[in-house]
Amino acid sequence: MKFVSGLVSISFRPVKADDLIVECKKCGLQAVEWGSDVHVPFGNIAEAERIGKLTSDAGILMPEYGAYCELGISSEDEIVNTCRSAIALGTPVVRIWAFNKQRNCVSDAEYEIAVSDAKKMCDMFPQLTFCLECHINSLTQDYRDALQLMNDVDRTNFGMFWQPNQLYSHDYNKRALRALLPYIYAVHVFSWEMVDGNLRQYPLVEHEDRWLDYLDIIKESPKDVLPLMIEFVYDNRLETLKSTADTLNGWIERYN
């Protein structure tokens, strides 16, 4: 199994997509996850085709499309336009969402609607894979709920992205990663921590020990290639991307 390094484009929403391609090349990043809100707006097929060609011509991979469709909430038009944009872009995986609350705050009826929406999405676009994140305030905040959702949807083109959950311990995150590993298509990389109820963002290198533990687990993935995607930098400055990319690429060199 091989790792590739990349950037989640929403890390720098004010920067034009064309310029982010240049920055990825300069920083030695191999992939980009284009966001559907700013850089490759869903429904704008011509722009998706343009950015897709520009990215491919630069030799940069597009392993996923960062969309904001929400199971149980988004309209069919939004879902269809998002999927058409992903196809035009040339990416095989679409990141989606599942409510904005945890499973224990969602009624059984709401949950069944989310499951039904996921099945319908997967069946309508079998050429795409749809993935949720282990994101706080969502149906998949807890990995056990995420596993249940994977089982309830029961589609081969339905999976997960993974990132450390800043609300929980390092041991919890390792357990979550091991449990979800067969379903994981990409990993979002950052060094965040809750301190006295406040979110703190650190340079990526600050959590190197934790990330090397995670990479030891991720290396056992059944996937041939797994993207490790930088999501935000601690000071939100584009100038910090190079040092962050150097840290990530240094870790990857130990494994590839």
Strand partners, 162: 187
As given in the structure block, the two tokens for residue 213 are 């533990």
pLDDT tens-digit profile of 19-62? 999 999 999 999 999 999 999 999 999 999 999 999 999 999 99
CA 79/CA 133 separation, integer angstroms:
17
Residue 12 predicted with pLDDT over 90 = yes
Residue 99 predicted with pLDDT over 90 = no
pLDDT tens-digit profile of 181-234? 999 999 999 999 999 889 999 999 999 999 999 999 999 999 999 999 999 999
Cα torsion 90, 93, 98, 104 to 10°: value is -170
**∠ CA 30-93-221, rounded to 5°:** 70
Residue 80 predicted with pLDDT over 90 = yes
Q: Report how far apart the first and last C-alpha atoms of the chain are (Å, whole number).
A: 8
> For residue 91, what pLDDT is reported?
98
Residue 101 predicted with pLDDT over 90 = no
As given in the structure block, the two tokens for residue 108 are 């059984």
Q: How many CB atoms lie within 10 A of CB 199?
A: 10
pTM higher than 0.95: yes
CA 249/CA 154 separation, integer angstroms:
35
> For residue 2, what pLDDT is reported?
96
Q: Domain 2-253 class?
A: alpha beta
User: Domain boundaries in the chain?
Assistant: 2-253
- The answer to whether 186 and 33 are in contact (CB under 8 A) is yes
Indicate if the alpha-carbon torsion angle 54, 57, 59, 61 is positive or negative: positive
Q: What is the mean pLDDT of the chain?
A: 97
